[in-house]
Amino acid sequence: MTRTLSRRGFLKSAAAAGAVLYIGATAKGAMAASGSADAMLTPFVKIDSSGGVTAIVKHFEKGQGPATGLTTLIAEELGVTMDQIDYEFAPSDPAVYNNLLFGPFQGTGGSTAMANSWMQYRTAGANAREMLIKAAAQAWGVDAASLDIQDGLITGAGNSAPLGEFVAQAATFEPVETPRLRDPADWKIIGKEATRRKDSPVKVNGTAKFAMDVHLDNQMVVMIKRTPQRGGQVVGIDDSAAKEVKGFIMAQTLPTKLGVAVYAENTWAAMQAREALEVNWDFSAAESRSSQDIKDEIMAALNAKAEYNVNKADQAAVAATIDGAATVVEKTFYFPLLAHAPMEPLNCTIEQTAEGDIVLHDGAQMPTGPHMAYQQIFGLPAEKIHIKTMLAGGSFGRRATPDADYQVEAGLAFVMTDRSRPVKLVWDREDDIRSGYYRPAVGHKVRVGLDAEGTIIGWDHQVAGQSIMKGTAFEAFAVRDGIDHSSVEGIADSPYSIPGKALGLTDTKKATSVLWWRSVGHTHTGYVMEVMMDMAARAVGKDPVAFRLAYLGGEQDATRKAGVLKFAADKGNWGNPAPGNVQGIAVHKSFGSYVAEVVEISGNLDDGIQIEKVTAAVDCGIAVNPDVIKAQIEGGIGYGIGHAMRDQITLDGGAVEQSNFPDYEPLRISDIKAIETHIVASAEAPTGIGEPGTPPSAPALANAIAQLDLVVAELPMAENGVSFA
């Protein structure tokens, strides 16, 4: 049986090969299978007549695991093994592949891939199972209730056949909104530690295709010579030396005047030609401040009245309470700009088809962004633009820019050609470190008052820094009453029941492009909350774990946080470090998940410290792929600790001083000797895992270092009194 599924080009080739069953949700949210050429299809699972099952994964894979996780959900409900199912990334179509938590927008971020797909993909898999069973039941003349699918075989009532035999008939049935989901007690893949990643094999034998590995026939490689100071404008170019480079094609100033596109036959020629190109810049409107200027502005804001009273507290009353407290603990913190530096430098490739369509090959984190931008750049309707999502070599937030920065750059470079040759835009590491979007620099000033019993009676918390969301397309839902929630998340919504809390926020002036960076505001709020909790506990002579637990009673939100704190303390031998070692602990909730970490270090401040072990406990609801969760916690810890140890982006006269890994040193293998992760058993719906491991890691390390009598309130640690062995 051949079906015609003309609505979407990507379906055609598969359909032509034979009967294919697609199951998904329509734009309206109801479930529908492909009954006819007119059916509104939004497939999450595709099954061909030979029984080949493919999960259509709507989230991109940057290592965080959705290629495995979303595939797991389909496989579990349908009744196939992980070896019997393949995956492919969804095309760009926000009407059907949108992130359910982002509205009509297709994208990955905020650790939402599993949280928003959990019911959607299980429902799609369950519908496929029920439709296939119904077809088999009719063919065999038996009751559908007597059949099940296991390991790809429809079995029951004395019959057994591969599911592929019933694909054609099953495709004539209508899926339902609420098919029967399998009982969690019967799960064979979900929650099983033994489940392996679907993307491992290609990533260990060199065949994995990242965007950087796209090589289209006759393509040109483009690199951009960018302004060294943000806001600098091109006023003239001299390409005479570039012309001496073999393989150089041309140099064209971008319409934005923010850089010059250098076209070449291959990457090395593009690099050399860009180096040889001379550009005259106009810096009159460019950023000229240095890091110290930015820091001074933030510190001044912390000492002035806050622009926003975030929690509508009586600030004067809170201040008075603290003034009269038996014990007052006070600290001012500063966090520098940070680059994301994913392992694969940013890149993407554009081509124009014979029909005049535009195809973008990209490790696309938010396909809707470039999809919309390209409609403007190329003057084409949405259906003439296609995005092919490739594997991404990390992101940490960097590939998700609200203004689709690098994809727009590639689009502008392509539109300046006759479009006969594909254009591959390549950034190198220097582009990445110098021209990237940064975690904003942020300051906090906190005063905590405790009574004679050592109980918190007032917590005055001021935050100042550049807003991430303001001025972007995300402002509408992330900013309320002028307050960018991402600047205060982790404080404003902390599960701690802290009496007498005042929270003020001041937005400082735009100094550079800023962007969410793995765990967004929690990168600094988690640090400050947890270092202050430790300081307060020590000031009144209480154990840091017991002290925190006093503020974590009652609500489920607090008890889950208390649960991971106690779990990590238990598994990390809290209070009993190896001889000569000291420990620190921190706990934080972010993206719906709760993570506590115990860091144990050896050494001392004179000779250098060594991180011996990090023990983590995580509660992220149902653990769909436990080993992927452990890997994300391990990676989240490394990302948080690595930057806290050594990294910062600094500006000198508006120019970024760092350029590559030698001066933006990554975490190295010897920096952390061991990490152990424990997962809380839970029946709650899954929550985020890509980011929650990061926030508690640096404060847990800081709290361990505090045992050596140094409270690190400014990062990176290596620049502020800590040496590492």
Partner 1 sequence: MAISLKLNGKTHQVEAEPGTPLLWVIRDELKLTGTKFGCGVASCGACTVHLDGEPVRSCQTFIEDVEGSEITTIEKMEDDTIGAAVQQAWLELDVVQCGYCQSGQIMNAVGLLRENAKPTADEVDDYMHGNACRCATYQRIRAGVLRASEILEA
* Residues near partner 1 (CB under 8 A): 61-65, 196-197, 199-210, 212-213, 215, 221, 246, 266-268, 271, 341-345, 391-394, 396, 428-429, 627-628, 631-632, 634-635, 637-639, 642, 660-662, 666-675
Comparing CB distances to partner 1, the nearer of 286 and 718 is 718
- Nearest approach in angstroms of CB 665 to partner 1 is 9
* Whether the Cβ atoms of residue 260 and residue 250 lie closer than 8 Å to each other: no
- In whole angstroms, how close is the CB of 702 to partner 1 at the nearest point? 18
Considering the complex, what minimum distance in angstroms separates the CB of residue 202 from partner 1?
A: 8
Q: Token pair for residue 356?
A: 């005049």
User: Nearest distance from residue 632's CB to partner 1, in Å?
Assistant: 8
Nearer to partner 1, 398 or 524 (CB): 398
- Residue 515 and residue 439 in contact, taking contact as beta carbons nearer than 8 Å: yes
Residue 421 or 444 having the CB closest to partner 1:
421
Smallest separation (angstroms) from partner 1 to the CB of 299: 31
CB of 426 to partner 1, least distance (A): 8
Closest distance of CB 81 from partner 1, Å = 16
The pair of structure tokens assigned to 69 is 């996780």
User: Least distance (Å) from partner 1 to the CB of residue 363?
Assistant: 9
State the number of CA atoms in the 13 A half-sphere of 662 facing the CB. 2
d(CA 683, CA 474): 32
CB burial string 648-682: b at 16+ within 10 A, e below = bbbbeebbbbbeeeeebbebeeebbeebbbbbbeb
Distance CA 359, CA 361 (A): 7
Contacts of 579 (CB under 8 A, 6+ apart): none
**20, 4 in Cβ contact below 8 A?**
no
Give the residue from 616, 618, 591 showing the smallest Cα distance to 687.
Answer: 591
Residues 6+ apart with CB under 8 A from 480: none
Nearer CB in complex with partner 1: 285/578: 578
Task: Select 149 or 423, whichever has its Cβ closest to partner 1.
Answer: 423
Measured from the CB of residue 382, what is the shortest distance to partner 1 in angstroms? 29
Judge whether 449 and 539 are in contact, CB under 8 Å.
Answer: no
Among residues 161 and 208, whose Cβ is nearest to partner 1?
A: 208
Q: Please identify, using beta-carbon distances, which residue of 118 and 664 lies nearer to partner 1.
A: 664
- 57 in Cβ contact with 75 (< 8 Å): no
195 or 229: CB nearest partner 1:
195
Shortest Cβ distance from residue 502 to partner 1 (Å)?
Answer: 36
- Of residues 383, 425, 433, the one with CA closest to residue 404: 425
Q: Which residues contact 336 (CB under 8 A, 6 or more apart)?
A: 291, 441, 647, 648, 649, 650, 715, 716
| Torsion sign across C-alpha atoms 681, 684, 685, 691 | negative
| CB-nearer residue toward partner 1: 246 or 509 | 246
3-class SS string, 462-515:
EEEECCCCCCCCCHHHHEECCEEHHHHCCCCCCCCCCCCEEEEEEECCCCCCEC
The total of other beta-carbon atoms located within 10 Å of residue 170's CB is: 26
Residue (15 or 270) nearer to partner 1, CB: 270
Of 543 and 665, which CB lies nearer to partner 1 in the complex structure?
665
With residues binned 3-state (H G I as helix, E B as strand, rest as coil), the percentages for the chain, rounded to 5, are 30, 25, 45
Kindly state the smallest distance separating residue 693's Cβ from partner 1, in Å.
10
Q: How far is the CB of 661 from partner 1 (least distance, A)?
A: 4
Residue placing its CB nearer to partner 1 in the complex, 180 or 209: 209
Q: Which amino acid is at 202?
A: V
Pairing of strands 501-507, 308-309: antiparallel
